[in-house]
């Protein structure tokens, strides 16, 4: 059974949408707004067909700086495959140059991946794999 989509809450809907469009090739659908609930969201579609929903309400609670705590309960990371080791290195350096925090340098992992890890604007951990 395929996963239909994954959703993330964000305090800044437009900033997070732009991040995934700019660096991971997401295509955004139209903004959905429910004024009665003060809820807004975008569905982003990636080339693979995967979808990510970005959601916002005014009363979000900031859980603090837990971005590097990979062993917390809940969603740990999103992984994007870029197809080659050189592409992992190139995108990692592009994100670093644009001011995003690299929390895992490009490397071979014990489970067979070549990957790096960066934080999106909200501190969500993103793995970039070959």
CATH code where residue 8 lies? 3.10.180.10
**47 and 5: one domain?**
yes
pLDDT value, residue 51 = 97
The beta strand positions in the chain, using DSSP E, are 6-9, 27-28, 32-34, 39-45, 51-56, 78-81, 102-108, 114-119, 125-129
pLDDT value, residue 61 = 73
Residue 115, domain extent = 76-130
Q: If the chain, 130 residues long, is cut into consecutive pieces of 10 residues, what is the mean pLDDT of each piece?
A: 91 96 98 96 97 93 58 80 97 98 96 95 95
**42 and 7: one domain?**
yes
**128 and 86: one domain?**
yes
Query: Is 70 part of a structural domain of the chain?
Result: no
pLDDT value, residue 74 = 75
**54 and 102: one domain?**
no
Final residue of a domain: which of 32, 58, 84?
58
Q: Number of folded domains in the chain?
A: 2
Radius of gyration of the chain (CA): 15
**47 and 3: one domain?**
yes
């Amino acid at each position: 059974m395929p996963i239909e989509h994954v959703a993330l809450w964000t305090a800044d809907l437009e900033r997070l949408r732009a991040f995934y469009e700019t660096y991971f090739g997401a295509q955004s659908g139209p903004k959905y707004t429910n004024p009665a609930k003060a809820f807004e969201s975008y569905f982003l579609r990636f080339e693979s067909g995967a979808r990510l929903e970005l959601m916002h309400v005014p009363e979000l609670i900031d859980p603090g700086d837990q971005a590097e705590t990979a062993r917390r309960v809940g969603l740990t990371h999103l992984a994007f495959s870029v197809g080659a080791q050189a592409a992992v290195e190139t995108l990692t350096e592009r994100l670093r140059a644009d001011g995003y925090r690299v929390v895992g340098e490009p490397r071979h992992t014990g489970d067979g991946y070549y990957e790096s890890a960066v934080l999106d604007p909200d501190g969500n951990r993103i793995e970039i794999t070959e």
